[in-house]
Structure formats: structure tokens, C-alpha cells
Amino acid sequence: MLFEEFDYFSYQFPEPQYLGAKHTILSWIGKFIPQNISVVLDAFAGSQSVSFLFKQLGFQTITNDFLCFNGKIGEALIENKTYKLDNNDLYLLFQSATNKNDFTLMEDIFTNIFFEREESIFLDNFRANIPLLQNKYKQALAFTVINRSITRKITMGHFAHRQALTYAGNPERIKRNRSLIRPIKDIFEDLLPKYNNAVFDNKRENISFNHNILDILPLLSSIDLVYFDPPYCDSHADYQSFYHLLETYTEYWRNKKFINGTKRYFPLRYSGFDKKRDAIASLKKLFEMSENIPYWLISYNNRSYPCIEEFEQIITKYRNVKIEMKTYRNGRGGKGSVAGSKEILFICSPKKKFFISKNNQPHANNEKLQLLGQPLQK
């Protein structure tokens, strides 16, 4: 697909508060998207801001993320074409749940750690009511907005510290972020219009998945471009610790242990990309599985493991590589995006000529993908 003018850029991606999110450098990444492509895979989608860019550009967008709460953003803003939350939905979400005695996880585990009891009870009640919504897209939108509302309550927007209630009692902190003392319900209602207004149909069949990318890749075919933004190992790679509360709330686990001062769930899911002992082997496997995808864009950081030179050597076995760099002038949270660190983009083109099909056949093996209709074993 050639670059054209689309009306889709009138839809704005709601600003995330997410370590490593690419929303501030989307225009820079967009410069390096090859022409004459149609189907794009965002393999480590995170906040979904890059997937949203692909959708705006009119591509068929397949998005995937390892964490469930990120997968809900993909369902709400990438796969979803038309469904928004209206006043009837808000009535259902805010009403007193009939089964509220079965939903006490936030109150039992996180009261006086991240929230006062009243807020914990509200979150449990809201979570109990999400299944009452009409379909999975409305439900995904409810998850997306409530999870974003929760991060607004927490200074730094992550859950690897226990300062939330302390900061909420600090007048100087409150001046900088009044959401620290606002009810989550009010924050939700303020944010919802931004998310409703971000729902649009780009006339393509976009798909959102929530799996380890190494499980997804063998079941996909006819992808023109893949965007890899793997965890920056030895930088800010521990997303399960940073965002454990959002994952716990979305999954609403009853069979996990909750450990350490922040009550992080245990055991963690196995990623393969966030520990030094696994990272290089997993990256090699990732690239081997992607050999039939002509074009790759890979985001990286100069403070990550392996180093840029070694990472480039791994890629050059499979692709011609060009490297672009962008320096962060202001810190954005996390070791990998402090002021002075460099965002790296590996622009990878095929060593041999690929034929990119433009027929009307499905670009993903839908029969095989049906096998992934239910979550993989966690």
C-alpha cells in the first residue's frame, strides 16, 4: 500500500503513562515504514500506540502483547471498529454488583498499599460488573479505561513502589498531579470520551492477541512488515513488576500468591526476553521464526543487553540492516529512557527479493488462529 492521505488521523491515541511507550516518537518511527505494504504485525505491542499508528495508516494490523491488560487495549482500540461505552453501560458498571461478595480481591490484597478501602471496594465492584457489558469490545474498553484511571492515581504510573498513599498526602505532589486525591470513578469519567473518540474502522480486519509472540509467529502468514519492540533487557524490562496490579486486576486471579511489599503476583509468567540468561537465545529464535516476513523494524535502546553491536550482528544473519538513533532530551521514566539515552531503530530489509502478494487471500492463517481463541496455558 502506498502512503496516502487518510481521514484516520483525526482519531487521536489517548496519551499513555507507560514505561517505554513510543507515542512521543511515532512520527520518527513512521518515517521508516516501507512503502507498498499492506499487513503489519506489532509483536510486543505494549501500550498499542504503534499499532494505532499502523491502523491510522490503513494497514491490516495484527497486534500482540504478552500481558493481558495490554491485550485488552488492542481489542478496544485496534480490533474494535465501532463499539463505545454509553450511559447505559456506565449504569451497569457503576451499579452495586449482585455478586460483589465474590469480588473482594482489591480490597483484600491492595487496601492501604495502593488504595484506601473505599477505592478498593469501588474497583472490585466495577470489575464484577464488566461481564455484564454487551460484548468483548465494550468489555475491553472498560478494562482499558479503568486500568488507565488506576495509573493516574499512582505517582510515576507504575506499581513497583509503595509511595502512592504517601504521595496522596503530600500537598506538593498533589499540586503536580491532582489525580492522586481524585476518586477513580471521576478519573474514569473524564478519560472515557478520549477513548470512545479513538474507536474507528479503517476498513480492515484487524486482530488483537494476548500471547507470547513465539507462540503466535508460526501461525501467521503473509505479513509484510513486523515491528519488534522487545523488553529492553537490563534496562526497563520487568513489566510484570511495574504493572502487576493491572494484570492482577484484569485477570482477577484467585490462585496466585501475592508477594513482597507491593503484593506482586507469583509465579511470574515466563517471557524469554527480559532476563540475560534467556534474551539472546529468544531473540535468535524470534528472528528465525520471522524469516518469511520481508521487512522488520526493531526498536531498541543503547542501555540494553545485548549491546547494539552484538544485537546488529544477530540481525545481519537474516537481514540487511540500517541503524537510526534518536536521543531522549527529557527523561520519561525507566532506565531506558532517561535524558541522554538513545532510542535505536534497526531498519531491516530482505537480503533476497520477496514477492509480496496483493491478492485477496487472508493475510493470516485464520484456521490456525482459531486455535488461539482461548488463552494459552499461563
More confident residue, 215 or 360: 215
What pLDDT sits at residue 48?
A: 98
Examine the pLDDT at 191 and tell me if it is beyond 80. Answer: yes
pLDDT tens per residue, range 53-81: 999 999 999 999 999 999 999 999 999 99
What pLDDT sits at residue 156?
A: 83
> What distances in angstroms separate CA 344 from CA 25, 61, 91, 254, one per listed residue?
11, 23, 46, 40
Looking up residue 346, the CATH number of its domain turns out to be 3.40.50.150
Domain end position, chosen among 191, 223, 256: 256
Amino acid at 38: S
In a shared domain, residues 340 and 220:
yes
* 123 occurs within a structural domain: yes
In a shared domain, residues 189 and 131:
yes
In a shared domain, residues 227 and 243:
no
In a shared domain, residues 169 and 211:
no
For residue 369, give its domain range.
Answer: 1-66+205-232+273-378
* 373 occurs within a structural domain: yes
CA distance linking residue 306 with residue 233, whole number of Å: 8
CA distance linking residue 209 with residue 370, whole number of Å: 11
Spatial contact of 274 and 233, defined as CB atoms under 8 Å apart: yes
3-state secondary structure 242-284: HCHHHHHHHHCCCCCEEECCCCEEECCCCCCCCCHHHHHHHHH
pLDDT tens per residue, range 121-156: 999 999 999 999 999 999 999 999 999 999 999 888
In a shared domain, residues 210 and 357:
yes
In a shared domain, residues 332 and 354:
yes
* 268 occurs within a structural domain: no
More confident residue, 248 or 164: 248
Average pLDDT, the chain: 90
Which residues is 257 bridged to in the sheet?
Answer: 266
* 263 occurs within a structural domain: no
What pTM was estimated for this model as a whole?
Answer: 0.92
Q: What confidence tier does 3 reach under pLDDT thresholds 50, 70, 90?
A: very low
Domain count across the chain: 2
Residue in 113, 136, 125 with CA at minimum distance from that of residue 185: 125
In a shared domain, residues 340 and 228:
yes
